[in-house]
Amino acid sequence: MATMVQAVRLALHVGETKLGVTDIFGEDVGPPLGGVFTATQGLRTAWNSPLDERGIVGAAMGLAMAGQKPVAEIQFCDYAFNTIDLLKLAGNTLWSSNGDWNVPLVLMTPVGAGIHGSLYHSHSLDAQATRIPGWKIVMPSNPRDAYGLMLSAIQDPNPVMVLIPKALMRVKAAGPDEMIPGEPDDARALGKMIDAPIGQREGWEPEWPETALEFVPIGAAKTVRRGEHVTVVTYGRMVGVAKRAADVLSREDIDVELIDLRSLHPYDWPAIAESVSRTGRAVFVNEDTEITNFGEHLIRRCVEELWDSLRAPPILEAGKHLPGVGLAEPLEAATIPGLGSVTDAIRRCVRQPDRRMGTSRPRRDFAFTWTGEAPVGPFDAYERAFRHR
């Protein structure tokens, strides 16, 4: 039973043995460490680059141009920000050259909070990544999807970004359906086969299990849970949080439909539209900062295209628009969505009066929103600050 980081490693092994991957590189990606999260341990084509993110992205582009199949890693997405114009270049190369050159490269990078990574190991890249046309962007929520999405990313003829939720790296599959076909059932057995021993790594060779070529198509969402009352659209680490929220709410007779988007671009609009038209209510959850958030785009589209079927305003539950994620646990919890705030957002959405009823209900119906923990609306903090100035 693989963890997500082992799943990525298994996919990269399949990539370099069956799908033509020529280079897996980045900072500390090669031996002896095999990546700061060990995602690249024991891989034949893994090598260490200089500490230079622009060089890494540039080299990946050049390798792709030279007919190679590179998988480059930015150690933390927090350090991808100084490569934005090269990412833009990778995204526009095919278009600007009128179809002459494509750059089939994979860029993988850990994203998101939840590991007490403070200001520079907690960023999300969703908004920035989806702002760069020409890229395909995927983000898995479990080991099997991480494996399948990585294989699809490797096979894709375009630049593909694989965003890996940091906090899920060490999380095992939740059940047999999240396991990679062909991997050993026993987590300890798999670890013995493919995890480098601590300390003594010289002469160590991994023993790779024969895993299936199972692709998760880019652009296809997965409905994790069927429900009638509200659609929750999320991805990455927030899928697990939303699942738990749905469990909590099922005890209140609230039936949540949960969509794991898996691909941020191209994204599965038909899946969202079908579900939201049916439930009439939508909550979008992610941990990126809320202003100019990718979820906002999805809300805009829901409002524009599904207006008639909406019973209540869609809600965005996202990270607070703050300059960083604080190190102390209460600060981190107050900044990014958690079980409490996600549950609350879904409950708030469900308890909104159905606007299609056509009656004007008293405003106090909205008082239902004030449940559980104190609402830390992103603007409340600002408003308080300005009011008392």
Partner 1 sequence: MHERMVEARSLEERLIRMQRGGDGYFWIGGPGEEAFNVALGLLAKKGQGLDHDYLHLHYRSSATLLAMGADPVDALRQMKSVATDPYSGGRNFCGHYSKREWNVAPITSPIEVQYATAIGTAIAQKRAGGEGITIVQGGDAGTAEGDFASCLVWASRPGFELPMLIIVTNNGWGISTPGHEQHGEQRIADRGKAFGIRTATIDGNDAESAYRGLEDAMRYVRRERKPFLLEAYVSRLYGHSSSSGSNYVESEIDCVTEIEKKLVARGLRTSDECDSLRNEYEQFLLEAAKTVSLEPKPEPASVWEHVFADRDIVGEGARKVPHDNRLWKAPSCTFPTTKASKNGNAS
CA 45 – CA 339 distance, rounded (Å): 40
Is residue 380 close enough to count as binding partner 1 by CB under 8 A?
Answer: no
Minimum CB separation of residue 289 from partner 1 in Å reads: 20
One symbol per residue from 36 to 75: x for binding partner 1 (CB under 8 A), - otherwise; what is it? -------------xx-x-xx-xxxxxxxxxxxx-x-----
Minimum CB separation of residue 358 from partner 1 in Å reads: 6
Q: Which of 121, 123, 229, 321 is catalytic?
A: 121
**Site size for partner 1, by CB under 8 A?**
57
Q: Residue 102 to residues 16, 45, 90: CA-CA distances in angstroms?
A: 20, 22, 8
CA 283 – CA 372 distance, rounded (Å): 18
One of 26, 30, 35, 104 touching partner 1 (CB under 8 A): 104
Q: What angle, rounded to 10 degrees, do the helices at 269-279 and 294-306 form? A: 60
Strands annotated E in 23-79: 23-26, 46-48, 70-73
CB 24 within 8 A of CB 62: no
Q: How much of the chain is helix, strand and coil, in % rounded to 5?
A: 40, 15, 45
Displacement of CA 82 from its chain's centroid (Å): 20
193/220 with CB nearer partner 1: 220
Is residue 136 close enough to count as binding partner 1 by CB under 8 A?
Answer: yes
95/379 with CB nearer partner 1: 95
CB 276 within 8 A of CB 310: yes
H or E segment and range at residue 147 = helix 143-155
Is residue 170 close enough to count as binding partner 1 by CB under 8 A?
Answer: no
One of 181, 217, 266, 377 touching partner 1 (CB under 8 A): 266
Token duo for residue 178: 């999240």
Minimum CB separation of residue 195 from partner 1 in Å reads: 28
| Block residue for tokens 């019973």 | 311
Q: CA nearest 82: which of 133, 39, 19, 125?
A: 125
Displacement of CA 300 from its chain's centroid (Å): 20
One of 96, 250, 292, 371 touching partner 1 (CB under 8 A): 96
Is residue 279 close enough to count as binding partner 1 by CB under 8 A?
Answer: no
Catalytic residue status for 121: yes
Is residue 244 close enough to count as binding partner 1 by CB under 8 A?
Answer: no
Q: How far apart are the first and last CA of the chain?
A: 55
Q: Residue 253 to residues 248, 277, 380: CA-CA distances in angstroms?
A: 9, 20, 30
Neighbour count for residue 252 (Cβ, 10 Å): 10
Is residue 384 close enough to count as binding partner 1 by CB under 8 A?
Answer: no
One of 356, 368, 370, 373 touching partner 1 (CB under 8 A): 356
Token duo for residue 109: 């990078």
Cα angle vertex 109, ends 123, 223, to 5°? Answer: 85
107/333 with CB nearer partner 1: 107
Stretch that binds partner 1, among 175-183, 239-247, 260-268, 375-383 (CB under 8 A): 260-268
81/382 with CB nearer partner 1: 81
Minimum CB separation of residue 103 from partner 1 in Å reads: 9
133/313 with CB nearer partner 1: 133
226/356 with CB nearer partner 1: 356
The contact set with partner 1 (CB under 8 A) reads 22-23, 49-50, 52, 54-55, 57-68, 70, 85-86, 89, 93-102, 104, 130, 133-134, 136, 156-158, 219, 265-270, 297, 307-309, 311, 354, 356-358
Q: Provide the annotated active-site residues.
A: 121
